[in-house]
Structure 1
């Protein structure tokens, strides 16, 4: 099922499968910012990554000596969410644990995804609840929004670049695909990152991000741009499929990341894993704004 949000500036469409934003369009210009999900390149739009981000060792989650099969990015993106609340400019969708999820992820959870449309843009808010009154819950969560590049006719993929703010030194975490090499992370001066297909030959570019962060997709040949921003998300991945010459790029805000080359597969010992106390609640959000 699809749901529509609308205000004077924009319309947005969200589908119940995966609680995924599938359209964010300007009324004034007609520009569609969200990738259309053409399976020739990549069949998704803005999936949520839960209960973990990226790939686990041997696609296996190990907890308290028991192994659970869990493929890349977890199962939430392929589950039907339930409508909790909807207004003209806000929608709340929920996914709760059930027998199927417990066979893949041994925790009692509720995941709420809230979209709010305003003059500023569209906010995606994640709320993760541990519904167990006795046991801690371990999880990861992230976003994978894909944006059309070029944004307008007459420009090319290579006409665009990422601009990161605040500018300055950032810590980059390299890939030993499909795992991360945390021991090999390094600092580099980052403000502008050119967008071209070969840029992603070794998968995503991953950076640590602390505090307020803005990543903009822009071109010096156009006034139209898109910015993804947040205040409390620790990592970002910049990605486009390679070697396919796909007409989109992803800005992926992550609160955790894939297993590293050093991780054992034991989930509660995983690098960057998030922990919720019994009946605890985790919340964070990111904004997409456009012009």
Structure 2
């Protein structure tokens, strides 16, 4: 099942499966979200919860008990309930269940709130701890922006001039190896060679937005003021780029396995809630 919201400028469509955004179109019917061709990558914009990235051995512990979670958690593979709908807004909810408690022993509700405003789509994540224990979690976005025509016609530019240090992955875990992303007058031309070692992972950035350019003209902007970390990723020869605001990231080899001790993890007190929002603006 799908839900569509619209305003005078844009239309956005969301699957109830994973509460996953799969389309943003303007009034000229131009599509800005990757179509999800499984020959490259069969997703569009999955939510990453209750972890971001990969756990060492896909395993973690809580109070000495061992659990397993797949890469990026389970929310993206579950059916959400539509709990509110207006012309330009849709709210989806996923609540803990017997199934989730086997993998993640916390009572939670995750809400995804999509709101269209002029030429922007806001995506807000709300996490509620409905249990009695402190709840460790991460949350992240993974929208794939469609890049029609020649991939190398595109470039991206960070909001601020800064040293763009990113971490390299080894066996899906974050290594201690880093590189500096070189810019030309603050602009990074896109090419597949950038992603030969998987995603570019920035643990911290001063920039809170990134603009994709097409032939030097602004195309799409992603703003992520509530997210300290960022991933940028594509597959070889795929006509999309993922701009991924994160609160958390993959384990390192040094991780203890205790989820409360995981680098980048958030902790939510009992009966409290958390919210973070980012936006995609069509330029």
**Is the counterpart of residue 215 in structure 1 residue 210 in structure 2?**
yes
Q: TM-score, normalised by structure 1?
A: 0.92
**Is the counterpart of residue 58 in structure 1 residue 50 in structure 2?**
no
Maintained 8 Å contact 1:211/1:233: no
CA offset at residue 180 of structure 1? Answer: 0.7
Aligned position for 1:92: 91
Q: Structure 1 regions of 5+ residues with no counterpart?
A: none
**Is the counterpart of residue 170 in structure 1 residue 169 in structure 2?**
no
**Is the counterpart of residue 157 in structure 1 residue 151 in structure 2?**
yes
CA offset at residue 187 of structure 1? Answer: 6.0
Aligned position for 2:259: 267
Aligned position for 1:135: 133
Distance 1:208 1:219, change over 3 A: same
Please show how residues 11-50 of structure 1 align to structure 2 within 5 Å: 11-27=11-27, 29-50=28-49
Please show how residues 243-258 of structure 1 align to structure 2 within 5 Å: 244-258=236-250
Secondary structure of 2:161's aligned partner: strand
String of CA shifts for 1:235-290, please: whole Å, max 9, x gaps. 1101002xx41111100000110111211222111110110011121111000001
Maintained 8 Å contact 1:210/1:232: no
Maintained 8 Å contact 1:170/1:209: no
Secondary structure of 1:168's aligned partner: coil
Q: Structure 2 regions of 5+ residues with no counterpart?
A: none
Secondary structure of 1:103's aligned partner: helix
Partners of 2:45 and 2:53 in 1: how far apart?
15
Maintained 8 Å contact 1:168/1:189: no
Maintained 8 Å contact 1:210/1:233: no
Aligned position for 1:279: 271
Secondary structure of 2:162's aligned partner: strand
Give the alignment partner of residue 235 of structure 1, picking from 196, 207, 229: 229
CA offset at residue 185 of structure 1? Answer: 4.4
CA offset at residue 186 of structure 1? Answer: 6.2
Aligned position for 1:146: 144
CA offset at residue 147 of structure 1? Answer: 1.0
Maintained 8 Å contact 1:56/1:72: yes
